[in-house]
Structure 1
Amino acid sequence: MDTRARSVVKAVIWNLLGLAMMAGVGWLLTGSLALGGTLALVNTCVGFLCYLLYERIWAGVRWGRRHV
Structure 2
Amino acid sequence: MLLFRGREAHSRSFAKAVSWRILGSIDTFALSWFFTGSAKAAGAIAISEVVTKMVLYYFHERAWANVSWGFAKDAEESQAGDRPA
Provide the TM-score with structure 2 as the length reference: 0.69
The residue identity in structure 2 corresponding to 1:47 is K
Measure how far apart 1:31 and its partner are: 1.0
Report matched runs for 1:12-31 at 5 Å.
Answer: 12-31=18-37
| Most deviating of 42-51 and 10-19 | 42-51
Task: Structure 2: state its 5+ residue gaps.
Answer: 1-6, 78-85
- Give the counterpart of 1:3 among 2, 6, 9: 9
Highest Rg: 1 or 2?
2
The residue identity in structure 2 corresponding to 1:49 is V
Question: Percent identity between the aligned chains?
Answer: 30
Task: Structure 1: state its 5+ residue gaps.
Answer: none
Runs of 4+ in 1 over 6 A off after TM superposition: none
- Aligned pairs, number: 67
- Determine the C-alpha separation between the residues in 2 that align with 1:18 and 1:54: 16
- Determine the C-alpha separation between the residues in 1 that align with 2:57 and 2:63: 10
* Equivalent position SS for 1:2: coil
Measure how far apart 1:60 and its partner are: 2.7
- Give the counterpart of 2:53 among 43, 47, 65: 47
Q: Which has the higher contact order (CA 8 A, sep 6+)?
A: 2
- 1:57 pairs with 2:63: yes
Provide the TM-score with structure 1 as the length reference: 0.83
